[in-house]
Amino acid sequence: MRTNFLMLHTITRIVSFIILSFSIYLFFAGHNNPGGGFIGGLMTATALLLLYISFDIKKIKKAIPFDYSTIIAIGLLIAIVTGLNSLLFGDPFLTQYFEYYTVPVLGEIELTTALPFDLGIYLVVVAVALLSILTIAEDDS
């Protein structure tokens, strides 16, 4: 007999959306307020994991067809290159730069080099968390 997961599926669709949007908020809040790439990445990973648990692995793999080990490499590369760009200006590695800009709709925003660095961390954390959990889950199947 097939179990009916209607409740779980419906709630997962809503909840994972909320978690994902909150994780993006956390990601952008980082480096001045609590938040950042690590927390945001972990939260994204939990949202995706919820999808993996309530639907099955094959279905989600169709929806998210990325190779997580490549994403780890991309994330690391983004973080390193962000650090490297300070070498171009003759400053020590990982020196951060920031500037305030006024954009029509959003008003004044702060652009910093910490953001791409955080993006790199975000990708690494998401990919590492999912890769390790999925590797254990797929065992013996």
Interface map 95-124 toward another protein (x if CB under 8 A): xx----------------------------
Query: Side chain identity at 86, as an amino acid letter?
Result: S
Listed ranges 19-27, 54-62, 77-85, 130-138: which one lies at the site for another protein (CB under 8 A): 77-85
Q: Which is nearer to another protein, 54 or 82 (CB)?
A: 82
CA-to-CA distance for 117 and 83, rounded, in angstroms? 8
Q: Does 135 bind another protein (CB under 8 A)?
A: no
For position 21 contacting another protein by CB under 8 A, the verdict is no
Place of tokens 């983004």: 78
Residue 80 within binding range of another protein, rule CB under 8 A: yes
Alpha-carbon distances of 67 from 24, 35, 43, 74, 101, rounded to whole Å: 21, 26, 19, 11, 36
Stretch that binds another protein, among 18-26, 43-51, 68-76, 133-141 (CB under 8 A): 68-76
Phi, psi of 110 (to 5 degrees): -105, 125
C-alpha dist (Å) from residue 19 to 26, 74, 78, 135? 10, 24, 25, 23
- In whole angstroms, the minimum distance from the beta carbon of 88 to another protein comes to 11
- Contacts to another protein by CB under 8 A: 69-70, 72-73, 76-77, 80, 84, 87, 91-96
